């Protein structure tokens, strides 16, 4: 007798053709494409701010552009047009925060926003999406996910090398940025759930990924706990 193959995600497979799925996909696809666009722009700006790392940062910008094209083709593959109006609105607080820091040549907030916050958001979202993705989107998402992990290392290397001098600034900037992250996760939550994604794992994944990244550059576990907990961030 042939062994039975068990596919644990079968029960969760969404109806990709339903109107409800297609509407949520249109909005989340817009979020992802817009997010990749922001990431591309942010790396271009960071390449100006950190000329000694120009080549790696420009390379990251090119990779984000490739991800953007990949996610655009996911929508095309399903015959769904991305909704950008909403996506631009969801990202505007983070975009404005980056732009304000960039205008004042403040490297720490810019690097923290792109290299840690945007990358950890992407990693959390892509990880939560993979178990419920259609085959085409899954392949695109897996490739992007691998690259985002590489991008995390760019910021980690710089923050590690300058940790003692920028530690207090990171903590202060973190307090102003995490509430924006929770706001983004809350706003995309409903559509993520309609795609079959597990919301708790999306938030947990972000917290774990972000916390591990902070620990890697030199923060203690206790410091990370107080920096990344939802309650502290919202109380800031
Ligand atoms: Fe990306
Ligand atoms: Fe990235």
CA distance linking residue 18 with residue 85, whole number of Å = 22
100's CB contacts (< 8 A; 6+ apart) are none
* Exposure of 91 in the CB half-sphere (CA atoms within 13 A): 27
Distance 4 CA to ligand 2 centre (A): 39
Q: What value does the mean pLDDT of the chain take?
A: 92
Question: Rounded distance, CA 236 to CA 230, Å?
Answer: 10
The confidence score (pLDDT) of residue 2 equals: 40
For the segment 104-110, the average pLDDT, to the nearest whole number, is 98
Query: d(Cα 4, Cα 26) in Å, to the nearest integer?
Result: 36
The residue-averaged pLDDT of 15-25 equals 94
**Which pLDDT does position 231 carry in this prediction?**
55
Å from CA of 111 to ligand 2 middle = 12
Task: Match domain 16-235 to its CATH number in 3.10.250.10, 3.20.20.60, 1.20.1260.10, 1.25.40.10.
Answer: 1.20.1260.10
Dihedral sign for Cα 179, 226, 214, 139, please.
negative
4 C-alpha to ligand 1 centroid (Å): 37
pLDDT of residue 69: 98
Burial code (b: 16+ CB inside 10 Å, e: under 16) for 196-207 equals bbeeeebbebbb
The two structure tokens encoding residue 116: 């840690």
Average pLDDT rounded to a whole number, residues 227-232: 65
Q: Where are the domains of the chain?
A: 16-235
* Distance in Å, CA 148 to ligand 2 centroid: 4
Contact 116/166 with Cβ under 8 angstroms?
A: no
How confident is the model over 122-165, as pLDDT tens digits? Answer: 999 999 999 999 999 999 999 999 999 999 999 999 999 999 99
Predicted confidence band of residue 12 (pLDDT cuts 50, 70, 90): low
Q: Which ligand is nearest to the CA of 65?
A: 1
pLDDT for 49 beyond 80: yes
């Amino acid at each position: 007798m042939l062994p039975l193959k068990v596919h644990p995600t079968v029960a969760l497979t969404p109806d990709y053709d339903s109107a409800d799925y297609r509407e949520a996909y249109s909005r989340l696809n817009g979020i992802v494409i817009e997010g990749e666009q922001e990431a591309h722009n942010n790396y271009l700006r960071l390449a100006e701010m950190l000329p000694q790392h120009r080549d790696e940062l420009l390379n990251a910008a090119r990779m984000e552009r490739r991800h953007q094209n990949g996610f655009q083709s996911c929508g095309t593959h399903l015959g769904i047009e991305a909704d950008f109006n909403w996506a631009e609105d969801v990202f505007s607080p983070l975009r404005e925060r980056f732009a304000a820091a960039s205008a004042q040549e403040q490297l720490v907030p810019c690097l923290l926003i792109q290299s840690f916050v945007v990358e950890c958001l992407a990693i959390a979202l892509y990880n939560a999406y993979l178990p419920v993705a259609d085959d085409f989107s899954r392949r695109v998402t897996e490739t992007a996910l691998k690259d985002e992990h590489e991008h995390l290392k760019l910021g980690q290397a710089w923050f590690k090398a300058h940790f003692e001098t920028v530690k207090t600034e990171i903590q202060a900037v973190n307090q102003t940025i995490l509430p924006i992250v929770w706001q983004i996760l809350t706003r995309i939550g409903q559509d993520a759930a309609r795609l079959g994604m597990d919301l708790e794992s999306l938030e947990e994944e972000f917290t774990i990924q972000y916390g591990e990244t902070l620990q890697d550059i030199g923060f203690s576990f206790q410091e990370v706990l107080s920096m990344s907990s939802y309650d502290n961030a919202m109380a800031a």
